Amino acid sequence: MIYLGGEAEVRIEDVVVKKRKPKRYRLKEIDEVLRIKRTKTEAKLISMARRIGVPTPIILDVEEDTIIMERIYGTPVKDCMSEEISREIGRLVAKLHSANIVHGDLTPMNMILSEGKIYFVDFGLAFIDSRVEAKGVDLHVYFEALKAGFENWEILRDAFIEGYLEFGKEEVVKRAKEIEERGRYVEKRLQ
């Protein structure tokens, strides 16, 4: 199977091969440097997350703009979401944030349930940041994904927050709420 994303082509075989695509609008030399740097950063953050106890695929190899990693067999979280799963996602995101890893694309599409564990995949937008704002945006992205994909999104959000607060900081949850309010304010002004 091949998935084409905005940044990369992902081929799923016995392993997963993620190759960053060249961007024609960038100078070739700059594009190559960026793709190599972003690939190394993504592989490093996946490995860091795994070391702190967040399930991720094992990185098997990194070759310039390509990551070869373990294939996780399981069910996409978007297809099996529950309160219990959202609560566990909250715990795992809090672990990421305690190590200052911001995933950048926290959606149920980027998580796989396998043998009772929730694996986080696609760290293509991940970065290191200790600021409450960056972590609050991470939570806001997750909450927006819940709103878009699930009728019971408020229950799932509340379960996530319960799990998050076991390891995470309340100030991050408060910031996520502030970010949501900012969005509402902008929507009202545009109407």
Q: What is the pLDDT of residues 121-175, one digit of tens each?
A: 999 999 999 999 999 999 999 999 999 999 999 999 999 999 999 999 999 999 9
Q: Which residues are catalytic?
A: 105
Numbers of helices and strands, H then E, in the chain = 5, 10
What is the rounded distance in angstroms from the CA atom of residue 18 to the CA atom of residue 22? 13
Q: 């564990």: which residue's tokens? A: 117
pTM summary value: 0.89
What architecture is domain 2-70? 2-Layer Sandwich (3.30)
The answer to whether the 2-70 and 75-190 domains have the same CATH topology is: no
**How many CB atoms are located within 10 Å of the residue 130 CB?**
10
| pLDDT the model gives residue 103 | 97
Give domain limits for the chain.
Answer: 2-70, 75-190
- Point out the least confidently predicted range of 50-54, 55-59, 182-186: 182-186
75-190 sits in which CATH class? mainly alpha
Closest-CA residue to 18 (of 48, 39, 44): 39
